Structure 1
Amino acid sequence: MSPRESTAKAHPRSRLLEAAIRILAADGPEALQARRLATEVGMSTMAVYTHFGGMGGLITEIVREGFIRLGRRMEEIPPGDDPVVDLLALGLAYRDHALDNPQLYRLMFGVVSPGGRQGGKDLTVAGVGNDLPEGQAAFARLVTAVTRVMEATDTREEEPHSAAAQFWSAIHGYVLLEIAGFFDGDGDPVERYLVPLGTKLVVGIGATPEHTARCVRQIAAARPRAESITEA
Structure 2
Amino acid sequence: MAGRPGEDARRRLVDAGIRLLERDGPEALNARRLAAEIGASTMAVYTHFGGMAGLHEAIMKEEFVRFGRHLHAVPRTDDPVADLLALGLAYRDFVLANPQRYRFMIGLTGPGAHPPIGHDLIGEGTPTTLPEVNAVFEQNVETVRRVMAAGRIRRDDPVPVAAQIWSMLHGYVLLETIGVFGRDGVPTVLAPAAVNLLVGLGDRPEAAEGSLRSLASAAEAPAPAPRPKVRPGRRPRA
Partner of 1:196: 192
Distance 1:50-1:127 versus aligned 2 partners, 3 A rule: farther
Identity value in percent: 49
**Matched-pair contact (CA < 8 Å) for 2:57–2:115:** no
Work out the CA distance in 2 between the residues paired with 1:114 and 1:106.
Answer: 13
1:153 pairs with 2:151: yes
Distance 1:48-1:69 versus aligned 2 partners, 3 A rule: same
Distance 1:11-1:32 versus aligned 2 partners, 3 A rule: same
Q: Per the alignment, in what secondary structure is the counterpart of residue 131 of structure 1?
A: coil
Shift of residue 174, structure 1, vs aligned partner: 0.7
- Matched residue pairs, number? 218
Partner of 1:227: none
Distance 1:127-1:46 versus aligned 2 partners, 3 A rule: farther
**Matched-pair contact (CA < 8 Å) for 2:153–2:201:** yes
Shift of residue 181, structure 1, vs aligned partner: 2.2
Q: Following superposition of structure 1 onto structure 2, how do residues 203-222 of structure 1 map, counting pairs within 5 Å?
A: 203-222=199-218
**Matched-pair contact (CA < 8 Å) for 1:67–1:135:** yes
**Matched-pair contact (CA < 8 Å) for 2:35–2:41:** yes
**Matched-pair contact (CA < 8 Å) for 2:148–2:155:** no
Partner of 1:175: 173
Q: Give the one of 109, 112, 115 matched to 2:112.
A: 115
Partner of 1:54: 51
Unaligned runs of at least 5 residues, structure 2: 221-238
Q: Following superposition of structure 1 onto structure 2, how do residues 89-168 of structure 1 map, counting pairs within 5 Å?
A: 89-113=86-110, 115-118=112-115, 121-122=118-119, 124-125=121-122, 126=124, 130-153=128-151, 155-156=153-154, 158-168=156-166
Unaligned runs of at least 5 residues, structure 1: 225-232
Amino acid at match of 1:70: F
Larger Rg, first or second structure (1 or 2): 2
Distance 1:196-1:147 versus aligned 2 partners, 3 A rule: same
Work out the CA distance in 2 between the residues paired with 1:123 and 1:21.
Answer: 28
Work out the CA distance in 2 between the residues paired with 1:77 and 1:203.
Answer: 23
Amino acid at match of 1:63: M
Work out the CA distance in 2 between the residues paired with 1:105 and 1:123.
Answer: 21
Please give the per-residue CA displacement for 1:158-194, whole angstroms capped at 9, x wherever unaligned.
321111111111111111111122223xx32122211
**Matched-pair contact (CA < 8 Å) for 2:21–2:28:** yes
Q: Following superposition of structure 1 onto structure 2, how do residues 16-31 of structure 1 map, counting pairs within 5 Å?
A: 16-31=13-28
Distance 1:129-1:192 versus aligned 2 partners, 3 A rule: closer
Work out the CA distance in 2 between the residues paired with 1:129 and 1:157.
Answer: 21
Partner of 1:33: 30
Work out the CA distance in 2 between the residues paired with 1:191 and 1:155.
Answer: 22
Distance 1:8-1:95 versus aligned 2 partners, 3 A rule: farther
**Matched-pair contact (CA < 8 Å) for 2:64–2:136:** yes
